């Protein structure tokens, strides 16, 4: 049996989609880089631009020297990531990540002065397992399939999507991807059960929706318990099965 408490955080992401914005790299370095230099202390990467390139492509990438933090800025979106550098590395708590990035996203909104039409929060969690494919097949499939085509799976994936009202406030898509994976350094990888969860507001609302800074903060705040509640449906505790 696996429960929510068994999983470790591998990575997390916060995203704002800005359908009408145009990012000025010069203004970005003048206005925001001095505020963010403590978190993103490595040399930034400025990518070449050309007429006709997709607006979703990053213009600038900021990173921390540890390699754990990264921020991608494009005209159409901003992505802020944290990723565990090694299984032994010191991690962050999920709520801590979203508390830390929310003020940065507010600063970005003030700098950009453009409409935010969509929000997304994505996390990956894992737990060590000597036979993750067999575990996932046994966990989600009936015995008749385990005795037949799934008797010796080398890998396994189960994806599920639904829409629901998060915290009674945000209509979202919820993706849960259960799959096999590995963690560790090359040549020293350990097999794991990996679960990716993706909460994002609806694409069909993006052309009209204008999220306020208060709504942005609320979305990422309620996403944290929402992730656990959703994962608990897939890996309930013993008393709930």
The confidence score (pLDDT) of residue 240 equals 64
Which residues, 6 or more positions from 99, have their beta carbon under 8 angstroms from its beta carbon?
A: none
> Within its chain, how far is the Cα of 45 from the centroid?
22
What span, in angstroms and rounded, lies between the C-alpha atoms of 127 and 8? 6
Whole-number percent of the chain with pLDDT over 70:
95
Q: Say if residues 226 and 95 touch (Cβ distance below 8 Å).
A: no
pLDDT digits (tens, 9 = 90+) for 126-155: 999 999 999 999 999 989 888 888 888 999
Which residues, 6 or more positions from 107, have their beta carbon under 8 angstroms from its beta carbon?
A: 32, 35
Angle at CA of residue 215, ends 210 and 221, nearest 5°:
145
pLDDT digits (tens, 9 = 90+) for 83-99: 987 766 667 899 999 99
The confidence score (pLDDT) of residue 131 equals 95
The mean pLDDT of 48-67, rounded to a whole number, is 86
What span, in angstroms and rounded, lies between the C-alpha atoms of 13 and 174? 15
What span, in angstroms and rounded, lies between the C-alpha atoms of 82 and 101? 10
Can you tell me whether residue 100 is helix, strand or coil? helix
Q: How do 77-83 and 8-17 pair as beta strands?
A: antiparallel
What span, in angstroms and rounded, lies between the C-alpha atoms of 146 and 131? 14
C-alpha dihedral, 94 to 99 to 104 to 105, nearest 10°: 80
Can you tell me whether residue 52 is helix, strand or coil? coil
The confidence score (pLDDT) of residue 100 equals 95
> Max alpha carbon distance in the chain (Å)?
63
Q: Please state the pTM of the whole predicted model.
A: 0.93
The confidence score (pLDDT) of residue 87 equals 65
Which residues, 6 or more positions from 172, have their beta carbon under 8 angstroms from its beta carbon?
A: 163, 164, 165, 166, 199, 200, 201, 202
The confidence score (pLDDT) of residue 92 equals 84
pLDDT digits (tens, 9 = 90+) for 152-201: 899 999 999 999 999 999 999 999 999 999 998 778 889 999 999 999 99
């Amino acid at each position: 049996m696996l429960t929510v408490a068994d999983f470790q955080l591998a990575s997390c992401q916060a995203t704002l989609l800005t359908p009408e914005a145009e990012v000025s790299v010069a203004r970005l370095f003048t206005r925001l880089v001095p505020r963010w230099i403590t978190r993103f202390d490595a040399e930034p990467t400025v990518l070449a631009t050309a007429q006709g390139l997709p607006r979703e492509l990053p213009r600038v990438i900021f990173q921390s020297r540890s390699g754990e933090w990264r921020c991608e800025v494009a005209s159409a979106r901003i992505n802020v990531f944290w990723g565990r550098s090694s299984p032994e590395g010191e991690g962050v708590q999920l709520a801590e990540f979203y508390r830390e990035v929310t003020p940065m996203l507010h600063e970005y909104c003030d700098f950009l002065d453009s409409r935010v039409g969509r929000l997304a929060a994505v996390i990956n969690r894992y737990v060590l397992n000597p036979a993750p494919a067999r575990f996932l097949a046994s966990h989600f499939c009936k015995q008749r399939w385990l005795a037949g085509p799934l008797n010796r799976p080398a890998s396994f994936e189960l994806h599920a999507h639904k829409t629901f009202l998060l915290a009674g406030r945000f209509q979202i898509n919820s993706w849960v991807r259960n799959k096999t994976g590995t963690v560790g350094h090359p040549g020293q990888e350990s097999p794991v059960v990996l679960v990716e969860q993706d909460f994002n507001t609806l694409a069909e609302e993006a052309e009209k929706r204008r999220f306020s800074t208060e709504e942005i903060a609320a979305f990422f705040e309620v996403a944290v318990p929402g992730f656990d509640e959703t994962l608990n449906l897939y890996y309930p505790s013993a008393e709930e099965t």
